[in-house]
Amino acid sequence: MSLHMGSTDQVRHEIVAVCQRFYQRGFIAGTEGNVSVRLAPDRVWITPSGCHKGMIRAEDLLLIDASGNVCLGQGRPSSETPMHLMLYRRRVDIQAVVHAHPPIATSLTVAGYELNTSLLPEAVVALGTVPTVPYQMPTTWEFGTVVSDAMQHAAAALLENHGAVAVGASLQDALNIMETVERAAQIFYLAHTLGRVQPLPPEALHALQALRPS
Ligand SMILES: [Zn+2]
């Protein structure tokens, strides 16, 4: 699947495709998760509240303004709308926000582990540092403020005892980041279970970090 920003119809179909991908990969269950794309400075397509994202249709999506008012569509926007809007306010460089509960990454936060992104080349280059946001009541503007504070320079964050958020210059970028977060968490978990976590040598790490976009 390759995602490109385009017409409104195309953007909605891309959001549906990402929701389905998250469901198929087990990153969400039931009505969990939310996805948005910034169409214009004051217009965001976002998934609705209370909807099973594995079965979502393009016509279920809502177009909202920068305050969260519905401009187009039926129903209520995602309960995590404040978090999406706070991220768009703070990050002019992003066009997409995805939130899911990938099981291994989420389990790390429940077990009190940070995500170590310096163990795998792909994670070093694609993710950089992934902060863990201390638990905060979801759905609130305070939650949105804390998450956006932590993600001023981050492509992803883990949400303690909750899940993960990824942002990107495109929806494809945000999806890639979320998948890479879960992969890094999975490999750490398996290595830890095997009994030894061997870091990359410092010189290898420095060479990879130099590849990160500034
Ligand atoms: Zn959540």
Q: pLDDT tens across 119-128, in order?
A: 999 999 999 9
Q: Residue 6: pLDDT band by 50, 70, 90 thresholds?
A: low
> Separation of 162 CA from ligand 1 center, angstroms?
6
> Separation of 125 CA from ligand 1 center, angstroms?
26
Residue 57 lies in a domain: yes
Q: Residue 186: pLDDT band by 50, 70, 90 thresholds?
A: very high
Cα-flanking dihedrals φ and ψ of residue 97, to 5°?
-135, 130
Residue 2 lies in a domain: no
> Separation of 87 CA from ligand 1 center, angstroms?
15
Q: Are 79 and 139 within 8 A, CB to CB?
A: yes
Which spans in the chain are helix H? 8-24, 81-90, 103-110, 121-127, 141-150, 171-194, 202-209
Q: Is the pLDDT of residue 149 over 90?
A: yes
Residue 1 lies in a domain: no
What residue numbers bound the domain in which 119 lies?
Answer: 8-209
> Separation of 165 CA from ligand 1 center, angstroms?
9
> Separation of 64 CA from ligand 1 center, angstroms?
20
> Separation of 133 CA from ligand 1 center, angstroms?
13
Q: Residue 1: pLDDT band by 50, 70, 90 thresholds?
A: very low
The SS3 assignment for 110 reads: helix
Lookup result for tokens 């899911």: 100
Residue 37 lies in a domain: yes
Residue 3 lies in a domain: no
Q: Is the pLDDT of residue 8 over 90?
A: no
- Sheet hosting strand 163-168, strand order edge to edge: 70-72, 62-64, 43-46, 34-40, 96-100, 163-168, 156-159, 132-133
List the CATH number of the domain containing 148: 3.40.225.10
Residue 38 lies in a domain: yes
**pLDDT over 90 percentage in the chain:** 94
**pLDDT over 70 percentage in the chain:** 97
Residue 196 lies in a domain: yes
> Separation of 212 CA from ligand 1 center, angstroms?
28
- Number of independent structural domains in the chain: 1
Q: Residue 213: pLDDT band by 50, 70, 90 thresholds?
A: confident
Q: Is the pLDDT of residue 2 over 80?
A: no
Residue 204 lies in a domain: yes
> Separation of 39 CA from ligand 1 center, angstroms?
23
Please give the mean pLDDT across all residues of the chain.
95
